[in-house]
Amino acid sequence: MGIFKIEDNKLSRQINLLLEKLFPINRSLTGEGNLKTLEILNEIIPLNIKYINSGEKVFDWTIPKVWSIKTAYVKDSSGKKIIDFGDNNLHVVNYSIPINKKVTFKELELRLHTLKDLPKAIPYRTSYYKEDWGFCIQYEKFLKLDKNETYEVFIDSKLENKSMVYADFTIKGEINKEYAFSTYFCHPSMANDNLSGLIIQTLLASMISKQNPYYSYRFIFVPETIGAITYCSLNTQIMKNIEAGFILSNVGGPGNFSFKESFDNKHYINFVIEQAFKDLKLKYKTYPFDIHGSDERQYSSINFRINMPSVHKDKYYEYKEYHTSLDNLDFVNSDNLMQSFYVYKKIIDILESNRTYLNNKTECEVHLGKYDLYPKMSGHINQKVSGEKNELELDQILWLLFLCDGSKNILEISKHTSFNPIKLFNIAEKLKKKGILSIAK
């Protein structure tokens, strides 16, 4: 049994409600859809919503202008809208500058993005750092366009010096050692990338905030890349105190679980993820750290070097619906998200079980019988026929007493002995209550 408890039906309802509310919103690096998104999450956890002005420098980068868009369409000469932003916000290249002109098919074609291999999908395209414009359409629709037509292209958008919004939420535990969770909310109407990460991170934060955790937790909500760079730049000292963390991204697909290792694959945070999959009897694939990916690129950069693996249920780049209109609410559902929630919940349970203990009785073995810790009948220690249920526990007690010299924590002892860390923790706490173990640090 985990340390944290949650109610199943309530969780499923919450996930569905959030998917419905958040999916239609047009998000980007900046803009009112982003604030609207954070305000919805703010109903669940009290976010610290923060603003940074366009033009401000964050390390090597500059906060972009704020993009807003009212309408956008392509009309044929009869006035019929053949592409309409109102139908799907992926139809317009994200960050398109305003445009209002007549173009030939040849000119229009240069501005259209399609996916030949996925003819029913609208691709997701952005042009954040170069002023540009364009439309994205289904390849099957593109094939039907009249090559002799003159088209009217209209994008009613603005790029203004305003401010970029982001947020965080911290939970103080018994000790200051901190784990960070980071997710991004800059994608318009797509579900796995990355509404799924946004929702799971919010619900995990909500769950932990209702408990009394041992460790402290930091939840970071940013537009991808520029937001994480901003966060690192404005919190340099705080970031250096983060023990390790996770990138919450692409956790709601129908496929198998996987995880992307942190840059140091020997770091215990990777072991924790594998242990969680093992405990839940889930199959998973391991992706080694790669320089491409999400915001671990910022958090793990030379100045910070935070180990930030990520659990995925259909990892980005690995499913055909990725970055298209087919990454929608048919692809992602609350059951998939619940599974990911439980994986992360298990990860947190394991992290919460990690302590470093000291055996107070270092001079030879402890007389276990004196503390009612020894099986009643002795002499059968290597005979697996006794059926005495304490037998395994006895092994765990002996290993804990042998190894708890203050140099090894529960995760290291678990790795050394192959005993489950949560079980070891529960036994160690029992030994602590009897005055045999104490907390080393």
Q: Do 348 and 4 contact (CB within 8 A), yes or no? A: yes
Q: Is 314 in the site for Zn ion (CB under 5 A)?
A: no
d(CA 49, CA 414): 39
Residue 92 or residue 431: which is nearer to Zn ion going by CB?
A: 92
Q: Is 296 in the site for Zn ion (CB under 5 A)?
A: no
Conformation bin of residue 418: beta by default, left when phi > 0, alpha when psi is -120 to 50: left
Instruction: For the beta carbon of residue 254, count every other beta carbon within 10 angstroms.
Output: 15
d(CA 143, CA 410): 61
Query: In the complex, what is the shortest distance from the CB of residue 34 to Zn ion, in angstroms, rounded to a whole number?
Result: 15
x/- binding map, residues 246-285, to Zn ion, per CB under 5 A?
----------------------------------------
Residue 95 or residue 399: which is nearer to Zn ion going by CB?
A: 95
How far out from the chain centre does Cα 195 lie? 10
Residue 250 or residue 354: which is nearer to Zn ion going by CB?
A: 250
Query: In the complex, what is the shortest distance from the CB of residue 314 to Zn ion, in angstroms, rounded to a whole number?
Result: 12
Query: In the complex, what is the shortest distance from the CB of residue 292 to Zn ion, in angstroms, rounded to a whole number?
Result: 11
Residue 193 or residue 352: which is nearer to Zn ion going by CB?
A: 193
Query: In the complex, what is the shortest distance from the CB of residue 287 to Zn ion, in angstroms, rounded to a whole number?
Result: 16
Question: What is the footprint of Zn ion within residues 139-198 (CB under 5 A)?
Answer: 193
Instruction: For the beta carbon of residue 362, count every other beta carbon within 10 angstroms.
Output: 10
Residue 124 or residue 399: which is nearer to Zn ion going by CB?
A: 124
Residue 11 or residue 122: which is nearer to Zn ion going by CB?
A: 122
Task: Select the residue whose beta carbon is closest to Zn ion and give its number.
Answer: 193
H-assigned helices in 220-267: 226-234, 236-240
Q: Work out the burial of residue 79: count CB atoms within 10 Å of its CB; fewer than 13 is exposed, 13-18 middle, 19 or more buried.
A: exposed
Question: What is the footprint of Zn ion within residues 358-397 (CB under 5 A)?
Answer: none
Residues 6+ apart with CB under 8 A from 279: 346, 350, 420, 422
Q: Is 295 in the site for Zn ion (CB under 5 A)?
A: no
Query: In the complex, what is the shortest distance from the CB of residue 124 to Zn ion, in angstroms, rounded to a whole number?
Result: 7
Residue 287 or residue 342: which is nearer to Zn ion going by CB?
A: 287
Cβ burial 165-191 (10 Å sphere, 16+ → b, else e): bbbbbbbebeeebbbbbbbbbbbbbbb
Query: In the complex, what is the shortest distance from the CB of residue 209 to Zn ion, in angstroms, rounded to a whole number?
Result: 28
d(CA 88, CA 103): 22
**Nearest partner of 65 among 126, 131, 143, judged by Cα:** 131
Instruction: Report how many residues bind Zn ion under the rule CB under 5 A.
Output: 1
Residue 192 or residue 354: which is nearer to Zn ion going by CB?
A: 192
Tokens representing 54 are 């366009």
Query: In the complex, what is the shortest distance from the CB of residue 41 to Zn ion, in angstroms, rounded to a whole number?
Result: 19
Question: What is the footprint of Zn ion within residues 412-431 (CB under 5 A)?
Answer: none
Query: In the complex, what is the shortest distance from the CB of residue 289 to Zn ion, in angstroms, rounded to a whole number?
Result: 18
Partner residues linked to 99 by β-bridges: 155
List residues near Zn ion by CB under 5 A. 193
